[in-house]
Amino acid sequence: KSARSQRGGELGDGVEGGWGRRRGMALSRILRHREFDSAGASAFSSAVRERRDQSFEQSEQRIFVPENAFSGSSACSLSLDGVEHRYLLAGACDGGLACFDVQSHYHAQREGQQDLHEHLFRIQASPPEAALPLDAQPRHRHQSATSSHRDEITSIQWYPVDTGLFLSSSKDCSARLWDANELKTVCSTTQESQINCVAMPEAASGHCLIALGAKDSVVRIWDPRSDCISLNFAGHIGLEVTCVAWSTSCEWILISGGSGGQIRLWDVRKANSLLVLDQYNTKNYSEGLNPMPDVEHLRQRSLKFPSAGDALMDRFDRNLQEWVSSKKLVKMVSDSKRNDMATAHDSAVRMLKASGDGLFLYSAAARMTEMRKWDLASGKNTLVNFELPASGLKAWNAVALDSSQNLFVAHNKAIFHLDTATGKRLSKLSGHYDRVTACVYNPACGELYSASLDGNILLWEAERLKSHGKHAEKEDGNGGRAQDFGNEDDWTTDED
């Protein structure tokens, strides 16, 4: 026993020893099972991605230069295009916009030097109206095509189809759709209150609607084709709508979170709320949300649906009516309407992120202990306990989801890497000197980009392979051992 434990201690001294060696054995085992066709085709790739994401470290070779784009201001919002996964859009605290090419280092071909990611274009912020002379101040709230935002950018997003358009919103009560080639406003809308968030559906093919959340309890749907607000959804119990997100599986489902802790699901084809998430999973509430059976529902349950000319059609109609009467759907729906005051969190919702397959929803509130995972098929709280600090979440929607269903959540000066299945903290990325405001994951390159109030945009990439031994011990001051985040406390600061 002692000799075996001593041998294990020796193996743990290297970077690839201990935990890394066991991970390597697991990968080789999965690869061997794949050869004999006993494992799925994506098992090995998922294991490689998971191992890569757990070894993220700050890049020293590739550096973003945002100070030339924002003239002293810091980035507060990030968005990566979903077509090429190449162009990183950043919004500044003063209302400026800039775009960076994350693949520019492939064309530089400079050996031994750092690769600097300069901005491809920038849109400078317009001066505030108070700083303009009286004759130059606008007489109405309409924004011209050449003007830009005058205050902090609250949300930014690329057009999901191509990189020719992008969307932005600001604290100056305006939302704009930009032409990326001409760098001009295609259309814009202005509200009476501050716009907190905007969102476009990533999987939409039948519409191009844009959801707006402002400092009131109404969710607005903006149609850029007619350049007007086409729909208004009211129902949140809070004073403002803090987050909006579209479902990744259905282009008509919209998810919104409010300052009162409510999370509502809307079908933009209907007038009322489709679902209100309840953190306590009350029985009557969940049963009242079961829809009436349709053809697709019967097919999924392997039930035969008779044709119109079938002799069993009358019997099927009778059975359907008896099923509706036995389930008392009318009463259940009316009971569920009384649960419209149900809340998903006890504080304001600060984060909404739908999984890539559209089956789950991740949400977080002002208190980080209230981060939850929801099953969108049933609307129930899965009761996953995420290992996060107890202090409040200050960043708005600063979250990224990788292809292996792992979460990167920004909190204060660090980014926490979480396992969505168990809620366990896998790693902690520290490198910023001020509060992290946004983070974006690049699925094509396996990289993570983060912005902070310290004025920096950092790039996180997988750790390079190092040989274990004396050379690795000299390079790594910790002896090559991975940091044990499970024993790290959350009540002390870096200064302590």
Split at pLDDT 50, 70, 90, the class of 42 is low
pLDDT reported for residue 132: 44
- Strands, E, within 321-405: which ranges? 349-354, 360-365, 372-375, 380-381, 399-401
For residues 426 and 291, the model is more confident at: 426
| 251 close to 206: Cβ distance less than 8 angstroms | yes
pLDDT of 475 higher than 50: no
| 228 close to 190: Cβ distance less than 8 angstroms | no
pLDDT above 70 covers what percent of the chain? 67
pLDDT of 209 higher than 60: yes
Residue 139 CB coordination number (10 Å): 5
Task: Identify residue 289 by its one-letter amino acid code.
Answer: L
Rounded mean pLDDT, 370-383? 91
pLDDT of 480 higher than 70: no
pLDDT of 46 higher than 60: yes
Sequence-distant (6+) residues with CB within 8 A of 156 are 77, 78, 79, 89, 90, 91, 97, 166, 167, 168, 169
pLDDT reported for residue 107: 67
pLDDT of 284 higher than 70: no
pLDDT reported for residue 470: 37
CA angle 457, 461, 464 (to 5 degrees): 140
Split at pLDDT 50, 70, 90, the class of 286 is very low
For residues 163 and 133, the model is more confident at: 163
Average pLDDT of the chain, as a whole number: 77
pLDDT reported for residue 111: 62
Six-digit token string for 221: 């749907």
Closest CA to 182 of 130, 123, 241, 129: 123
Rounded mean pLDDT, 60-72? 89
pLDDT in tens, 296-352: 444 454 444 445 555 555 566 666 666 656 555 555 555 555 457 889 999 999 999
pLDDT reported for residue 154: 95
| 452 close to 437: Cβ distance less than 8 angstroms | yes
pLDDT reported for residue 291: 42
Closest CA to 445 of 36, 17, 84, 5: 84
pLDDT of 245 higher than 90: yes
| 117 close to 65: Cβ distance less than 8 angstroms | yes
Task: Identify residue 228 by its one-letter amino acid code.
Answer: C
pLDDT of 437 higher than 70: yes
Across 28-42, 214-228, 306-320, least confident range = 306-320
Rounded mean pLDDT, 31-56? 67
Sort 176 into a burial class: Cβ within 10 Å, 0-12 / 13-18 / 19+.
buried
CA angle 314, 317, 318 (to 5 degrees): 90
Name the strand (E) or helix (H) holding 49.
Answer: helix 43-53
pLDDT of 134 higher than 80: no
SS (H, E, C) 127-144: CCHHHCCHHHCCCCCCCC
pLDDT in tens, 72-130: 899 999 999 999 999 999 999 999 999 999 998 776 666 667 889 999 999 999 887 64
Kindly report the pTM of this predicted structure.
0.76
pLDDT reported for residue 389: 84
pLDDT reported for residue 162: 87
Out of 201-210, 284-293, 448-457, the most confident range is: 448-457
Task: Identify residue 490 by its one-letter amino acid code.
Answer: D
pLDDT reported for residue 320: 62
For residues 50 and 15, the model is more confident at: 50
| 244 close to 352: Cβ distance less than 8 angstroms | yes
Pairing between β-strand 263-267 and β-strand 97-101 as defined by DSSP bridges:
unpaired
pLDDT reported for residue 462: 84
SS3 109: coil
For residues 486 and 57, the model is more confident at: 57
Six-digit token string for 448: 């993570």
Rounded mean pLDDT, 4-23? 39
Split at pLDDT 50, 70, 90, the class of 478 is very low
SS3 462: strand
Rounded mean pLDDT, 362-373? 87
pLDDT reported for residue 294: 45
